Structure 1
Amino acid sequence: MKALVLASGGVDSTTCLGLAVNKYGKENVIALTVAYGQKHTKEIEAARKTAEYYGVEHLYLNLEPIFRYSDCSLLKHSDREIPHESYAEQLKETDGSPVSTYVPFRNGLFLSSAASIALSKNCSVIYYGAHADDAAGNAYPDCSSAFHNAINEAIYQGSGGQLKVEAPFVSCTKAEVVKTGLELNVPYELTWSCYEGGEKPCGVCGTCIDRAEAFRLNGVKDPALDR
């Protein structure tokens, strides 16, 4: 059995990569990194480093043109500033809509593209790192359990029952993701989560705040801060 892992270079997807390698062996795991027009290449570089660490085949896909119509603040053609506050604070200003860093239907597009590649590479499962904290408050609706169940069924049916989608952390907090990763010795020092592209994580964007809290709740220092 072979697995394809959506690998962004961040905490969640790298933990998924560690899980897949632990379960299937590195020779049966493929990492797929997708460019979507993000403002920096830090996460793509991190994905390459983590794939090299695990010794898995690493594929790259550019979906940037699809998102050229979006004004998401993560995208390089957007003039919108990336919010420097927690997701909880951002959600107070959205009236139930996704946060400004939500890339429209990104996970749906990534998983659909991954499905075609996975079938061509004889994989029977796709892993992606959605977790409950991202889905909370509708911040990222394509990280929810409802979305996962729907996309899994669509891909299973559309592949003639040959392919399924696993989101092992969809009901977990980010702290629980990190707990699993620490048990698996995931190389978090190689990962990148920050939405800004500086030399070091900014510490104030939504994902930096979430990441710091996840490591704090596990009683350990984030090794990426020592880079």
Structure 2
Amino acid sequence: MKAIVLNSGGVDSTTCVGIAVDRYGAKNVTTVSAYYGQKNDKELSCAEKIAKHYGVAHRVIDFASTHIMDGSVCTLLQGGNDIAHGTYAEQMAEGDGKIATYVPFRNGLLLAAVAAVAQSVYPHEECELYIGAHADDAAGDAYPDCSPEFIKAMGKAIELGTYGLVHLVAPFVNLDKAGVVAWGLKLHVPYELTWSCYEGGDVQCGVCGTCLDRKKAFAANGVKDPVPYRQ
């Protein structure tokens, strides 16, 4: 069995890398990252460092040059409004039901692209495609493309479109981020190399939704988050 991991350089997807390498060995794992115009493009260099740490093959897909996100009001993208601070629940309560950092159909786009990579890299072998979607992201429909329903539908489509060779694996779809971190700690995942913050810069902000979720997850496990924060 081969494995291909959609790795954003963050906690969840890097834990998926750790799981895949533990199950199948580094020589059978490829990681893929994507640039689609996000402000936090620091995640791309982190994903590369993580690939080097594990000794796995790594690719980067450039969607920004296609201008596919042009016209989006998503604050996560270059040129968008400032990133909101506060938890996802607080942001949802203050908004119109759609979180401002939702990137239009991002996971659908990325999963389709990575399934194509899987069929290119491993054309005649079965392959597991890992995504780090977890329950905190799907809660309250903050990110609908992280929900169990979405993952199940995409998994079916991917299998149908790849002769049944590519299987979508979302190990955290029913876990919160604390559960993700607990799993990763057992595998000695290098969380010091990861980047979660939605804002750009050299140090993670500590107050955006994903930073708050991350800090809460490490605290729940009784361990110190190994990355620094501005706040």
- Note the C-alpha offset of 1:69: 2.5
Q: Tell me, in whole angstroms, the C-alpha distance in 1 between the residues paired with 2:61 and 2:70.
A: 16
Instruction: Indicate the residue corresponding to 1:83 in structure 2.
Output: 84
Give the percent of matched residue pairs that are identical in Structure 1 and Structure 2.
55
1:135 paired to 2:138: yes
**Partner AA of 1:27 in structure 2:** K
Instruction: Indicate the residue corresponding to 2:150 in structure 1.
Output: 147
Q: Tell me, in whole angstroms, the C-alpha distance in 2 between the residues paired with 1:38 and 1:32.
A: 16
Contact 2:205 2:229 in 1 (8 A): no
- Note the C-alpha offset of 1:10: 0.2
1:175-212 Cα shifts (integer Å, max 9, x gaps): 00000000000000000001112221111100000000
Q: Tell me, in whole angstroms, the C-alpha distance in 1 between the residues paired with 2:145 and 2:37.
A: 18
Instruction: Indicate the residue corresponding to 1:171 in structure 2.
Output: 174
**Structure 1: any 5+ residue segments left out of the alignment?**
none
Matches within 5 A, 1:118-129: 118-122=118-122, 124-129=127-132
**Structure 2: any 5+ residue segments left out of the alignment?**
none
- Note the C-alpha offset of 1:70: 1.1
Instruction: Indicate the residue corresponding to 2:73 in structure 1.
Output: 71
Matches within 5 A, 1:8-87: 8-64=8-64, 65-78=67-80, 80-87=81-88
Q: Tell me, in whole angstroms, the C-alpha distance in 2 between the residues paired with 1:98 and 1:112.
A: 23
Contact 2:128 2:168 in 1 (8 A): yes
The 4+ residue runs of structure 1 with deviation greater than 4 A are none
Instruction: Indicate the residue corresponding to 1:99 in structure 2.
Output: 99
Q: Tell me, in whole angstroms, the C-alpha distance in 2 between the residues paired with 1:164 and 1:200.
A: 36
RMSD: 1.3
1:67-121 Cα shifts (integer Å, max 9, x gaps): 122110010032x1110111110010234x3300010100000000001110111
- Note the C-alpha offset of 1:37: 0.2
Q: Tell me, in whole angstroms, the C-alpha distance in 2 between the residues paired with 1:40 and 1:184.
A: 26
**Partner AA of 1:91 in structure 2:** M
Aligned length: 225
Q: Tell me, in whole angstroms, the C-alpha distance in 1 between the residues paired with 2:136 and 2:204.
A: 20
1:157 aligns with one of 149, 160, 179: 160
1:208 paired to 2:211: yes
Contact 1:98 1:141 in 2 (8 A): no
1:114-173 Cα shifts (integer Å, max 9, x gaps): 011101111511001000000000100000000000000011111121111000000000
- Note the C-alpha offset of 1:226: 8.2
Secondary structure of 1:224's counterpart equals: coil
Secondary structure of 2:227's counterpart equals: helix
